[in-house]
Chains A and B, each alone.
Chain A
Amino acid sequence: MTKKILMIGATSAIAEATTRLFAQRGDTLYLLGRDMERLSLLTQDLKIHGAANVEYTFFEANDLVDHQNVLDKAVQALQHIDVVVIAYGRLSHQKNAEQNVEATIDALHTNLMSVVSLLTLLANQLQKQGNGTLAVISSVAGDRGRQSNYIYGTAKGALSIFLQGLRQRLFKSNVHVLTIKPGFVDTPMTADFNKGLLWTTPEKVARGIIKAIDNKEHVVYLPRFWRYIMFVIKAIPEAIFVRLKL
């Protein structure tokens, strides 16, 4: 059976790859994002891949006041929402943020506060429906604070905890909450990194997301071996951890 999907942050590489898989199943898609040119290009692409219908509208994550309005448009277009994927994020420059309170707060606002705002509104919508999936991209960076990116990590860590609570709350309403923790993914956000063995592609992460949604999983590391890496990283005693370069 085809589904109705709301993609928030639809132009992120992981979102795009996931959306293509939905399109290949013949699903109906509603896309939210900032770059209207990319959204329009993506819409053509998804229709070619087999989407039943694709619509899109402008969405600015940091404009919290507008969230309800944008979601209303999506609900009106889709009527019923089977799956919501929240996929945007901004990898802030850790070194800048360390010297600049405003940059730190901005990063937390985009990666955490705006997502919390959306989830609060969407949770009530899906609870009212009595079904549906909220799939949210968090990060392995949220599992333990590290000097190289703890501001991004803070936002993702808090987001993971928010999702934990929400999952428990919505469980009895038959609403599925999925926390997705990708490892290193080769996307425009990380285009100028030198890539090693641990890196994966958005397409592989996307296949994992679809599977986790279909199987109603709660928390998924993608690729799955990251579960073990993070298990080890979390297990290192703080007294040793502070001395590491990680």
Chain B
Amino acid sequence: MHLSGWGQYPKKDSQLFSAPQTPTQLQHQLLAQPTFTGIARGMGRSYGDSALAAQIISTRYLNYFISFDEKLGLLKCASGITLEKILALIVPRGWFLAVTPGTKFVSVGGAIASDVHGKNHHVAGSFCDYVLSITLMLANGDILQCSRQQHPELFHASCGGMGLTGVIIDAELTLQPINSSQIHETTIKAANLDEMLALFDAHQQATYSVAWIDCLAKGRHLGRSLLMLGEHSQEGTLNISSHQGLPILFDMPSFLLNKYSIGAFNALYYHRMRQNQIECTTHYDSYFYPLDGLLHWNRLYGKAGFTQYQFVIPKDAGKEGLSRILQCISASGRGSFLAVLKTLGKQASSRYLSFPLEGYTLALDFKIENGLFALLEKLDRMVLAFGGRIYLSKDARMSELTFKQSYPAWEAFQHTRCQYQASKVFCSLQSMRLGLNND
């Protein structure tokens, strides 16, 4: 079957090795066919090649809840359950995910393997901070409970481990209580990068914060952006959204997105707001998952696909680093609808491959076309020089050298993988490209 990540680049003809409905089904298949080499795949929402391999284990049918303690906000569920399914269950009962990424269509297994972060990273940390334990199936079919107390090195390697330690079967999560499914949102305009960074500093106590940034703006407008702050509302009902989402049925012709159309969109988006600050109350769905309303928005970039470039640079490098990188992007004329800037909080240094570092992260979409990778390699060098790194769940093209320089814990990660015989069995196109399957 032909598979790709959310960016539709690259594509791979893969064999579906297993689509188990129970842990035992997968165990039997692994024992019966010890030649398996490949990777677990949930909803296929990582952007690049981290869930692509010659053989795939689909976790989509590991889709059951195991327990839900409504008093303490503890939820245990299988790894194929999506965040959408979790919200549908917990929101009406007064609970919410402690951390959520920008789409609810990811699986729990994927969220753990990517150690995803959300708009509250600066105060709350990332997804795995709220994972109490996971059940992992190893290369030999053994099933292990892992947590901060049991097999901690395997737990830390699996949190953000891109599925390279084994197959996550289920997980136990802690939730946050809410009184309402509404979010109180404040949007503030910033005319340039200086203003935006000052706003981030001024609002570092906000529960949620993220900025949309116009990457095509130049000169004194460089970094003009809108900061969107959010707080859980105390009033309102507890209801899930019934909005189904509009599908985009076909790949759009990619010429529709060019620097003129995107520049026009960005200018309109920025200037649609007349005041410097507006406040409103909105459902969590439109606050956290605006793009989920447009199913298959990835098709907007055409058949060749796109890549999302997301990097983080440490706080000290902040202003200088961001402006140099933004200048480079703006000069290239390769813009994106979606350029998102956010501050990240403390690094979880126990997790070997987890992305967040304390500093600023910027995410941009680029459609795949000639000359793009040369630009991205130039950006890689700048990011590296500022002590930053690139998010593995978005990556489809980073070099082995870039990876190994920017994720110094990769050797410790490999050591743990080898201990559990994972390095010869679990591999993705990404792990092969990054030199994690060379032994």
Contact = CB atoms under 8 A, between A and B. Distances in A.
A48 B67 contact: yes
A201 to B, nearest CB: 11
Contacts of B1: 192-194
Nearest to B3: A194
Contacts of A188: 19, 21, 61
7 contacts: A35-B25, A41-B78, A45-B66, A191-B60, A192-B15, A192-B16, A194-B1
Contact of B21 (A11, A192, A194): A11
A150 B21 CA distance: 28
A49 interface: yes
Nearest to B78: A41
Interface in B238-273: 249
A44 B67 contact: yes
Given A192-B16, A194-B1, A44 B64 contact: yes
Interface string B22-35: 11110000000000
Interface string A182-193: 000000100111
B65 A45 contact: yes
Interface in B394-417: none
Contacts of A35: 21-22, 25
Which 6 pairs across A and B sit closest by C-beta, in order of nearness? Answer: A45-B64, A191-B19, A192-B16, A37-B22, A48-B65, A41-B64
A44 B58 CA distance: 22
A191 B16 contact: yes
Nearest to A17: B63
A194 B14 CA distance: 11
A35 B64 CA distance: 15
Interface centre among A11, A49, A191, A194, by most B CB within 10 Å? A191
A197 interface: yes
Contact of B64 (A13, A42, A191, A197): A42
A6 B347 CA distance: 51
A41 B66 contact: yes
Given A37-B22, A38-B22, A49-B89, A44 B16 contact: no
Interface size class of A (residues with CB under 8 A): 10 to 19
B68 interface: yes
A13 B24 contact: no
Contacts of B68: 48
Interface of A: 11, 13, 35, 37-38, 41-42, 44-45, 48-49, 188, 191-194, 197
Contacts, number: 44
B2 interface: yes
Interface size class of B (residues with CB under 8 A): 20 to 34
Interface string B8-24: 00000001100101111
Interface centre among B2, B15, B61, by most A CB within 10 Å? B61
Contacts of A192: 1, 15-16, 19
Given A191-B16, A194-B2, A44 B22 contact: no
Contacts of A42: 64
B61 A13 contact: yes
A11 B64 CA distance: 12
B141 to A, nearest CB: 15
Nearest to B60: A191
A41 B22 contact: yes
Given A44-B67, A188-B19, A191-B19, 8 more contacts: A37-B22, A38-B22, A48-B67, A49-B65, A191-B58, A191-B61, A192-B16, A192-B19
Contacts of A44: 64-67
A47 B65 CA distance: 9
Interface centre among B15, B65, B66, B78, by most A CB within 10 Å? B65
B58 A197 contact: no
Contacts of B89: 48-49
A188 B29 CA distance: 15
Interface centre among A44, A45, A194, by most B CB within 10 Å? A45
Nearest to B81: A45
A44 B1 CA distance: 33
A139 to B, nearest CB: 20
Contacts of B67: 44, 48
Nearest to A42: B64
B65 A38 contact: no
Interface in B59-104: 60-61, 64-68, 78, 89
A197 B249 contact: yes
B207 to A, nearest CB: 28
Contacts of A49: 65, 89
Nearest to B62: A41
Interface centre among A13, A38, A194, A197, by most B CB within 10 Å? A38
Interface centre among B21, B66, B67, B68, by most A CB within 10 Å? B21
Nearest to A45: B64
A176 to B, nearest CB: 28
A42 B58 CA distance: 19
A38 B19 CA distance: 13
A191 B78 CA distance: 18
A48 B78 CA distance: 13
A41 B81 CA distance: 13
Contacts of A45: 64-66
Contacts of A48: 65, 67-68, 89
A42 B67 CA distance: 11
A37 B66 contact: no
Interface string B209-252: 00000000000000000000000000000000000000001000
A13 B61 CA distance: 9
A13 B16 CA distance: 18
Nearest to A11: B21
A41 B64 CA distance: 7
A197 B60 CA distance: 20
Contacts of B25: 35
Nearest to A189: B19
A44 B77 CA distance: 10
Contacts of A41: 22, 64, 66, 78
Nearest to A186: B60
B58 A38 contact: no
Contacts of B66: 41, 44-45
A193 B58 CA distance: 13
